[in-house]
Amino acid sequence: MGGAPGFDLTAAARTAFRTLQEFLLPLACAACERLLDEGEPGIVCGRCWARLAPLPAPRCARCGHPSTRVPCRWCELLPPYVRAVRSVCWVHRGSGQAIVHALKYHGWHDVARGMAERMARLDWPPDVIAERAAVVPVPLAAARERERGYNQSACLAQGLAARWELPVWTRALARTRHTATQTQLTPEQRLVNVSGAFEVPRESHGALRRSHVVLVDDVVTTAATLNACAAALHAAGARLISYVTFGRAPSLGDR
């Protein structure tokens, strides 16, 4: 039996099943799968939140990466129109990766609320706080979003925007083509994979002109995806772009 064009029955059924589970079954932590304590808010347990591994100090004032070098090696990955980058935790240790995977791969989109709450508390340079006009989620390819049922970056952006009292510009960026997952690619392959993969629809150019927007994603590794998004936003008129992610992967040479 056919459905409406573009309607993914499988994704809708999966979302409905998750919702039914939440109402009918004792909730387990979406990250570690232990039963949640009675009265515990959200679907990630307090132990998993406590086991996050924050990026250690000292950190670069611009990119937020642990660094004592001047200039910072991680900053060298960023184009000049990227003002600042912040992340909550490492994903190679602690509970960060399990929390990200619960959101990204296991269908627990409600995890984004707790993640966004922690992203909203990150420290920023005063000019970023004063100037940021909107948050922009990194878009998924249409086929991948239909398969997953949602865009995890958009879920994070919605939660973050509510706490920052900013709009979410979900149509400021579009993916022009499907790209392979970045997970197993080298830094050079990541750059090639996402080069030219994003564009700004013409109707969004006016809002972007001279603005400072904050790009939102779940994890940053080499910043290849975020840089490709920022290049499209800057070409469409954005003056500055900052990045915020929940997780960050280590770079070569990190302590």
Nearest in space to 240 (alpha carbons), one of 125, 158, 162: 125
Amino acid at 191: L
pTM value is: 0.85
Torsion over CA: 188, 224, 97, 57 (sign): positive
Q: Cα separation of 25 and 229, whole Å?
A: 40
Please report the pLDDT score of residue 88 as a whole number. Answer: 98
* Three-class SS state of 215: strand
- Burial category of 149 from C-beta neighbours within 10 Å (exposed 0-12, middle 13-18, buried 19 and up): middle
Domains of the chain: 52-248 (3.40.50)
Between the CA atoms of 39, 40, 42 and 48, what dihedral angle is there, to the nearest 10 degrees? -170
Q: Which helix (H) or strand (E) holds 79?
A: none
- Measure CA of the first residue to CA of the last residue in the chain; give whole Å: 56
Alpha-carbon radius of gyration of the chain: 18
Give me the DSSP letters along 132-200.
EEEEEEPPPPHHHHHHHSS-HHHHHHHHHHHHHT--B-TTS-EESS----STT--HHHHHHHHTT-EE-
* pLDDT one digit per residue (tens) for the chain, 255 residues: 444 444 456 667 776 766 665 555 558 999 999 999 888 888 999 999 999 999 999 999 999 999 888 889 999 999 999 999 999 999 999 999 999 999 999 999 999 999 999 999 999 999 999 999 999 999 988 888 888 899 999 999 999 999 999 999 999 999 886 665 655 555 565 555 566 678 999 999 999 999 999 999 999 999 999 999 999 999 999 999 999 999 999 976 565
User: Helical H runs in the chain?
Assistant: 9-24, 46-50, 96-104, 111-120, 126-131, 142-148, 152-164, 187-194, 205-208, 224-235
Nearest in space to 244 (alpha carbons), one of 85, 79, 128: 85
- What's the gap between Cα 110 and its chain centre? 14
Beta-ladder partners of 245? 87, 217
Amino acid at 58: P
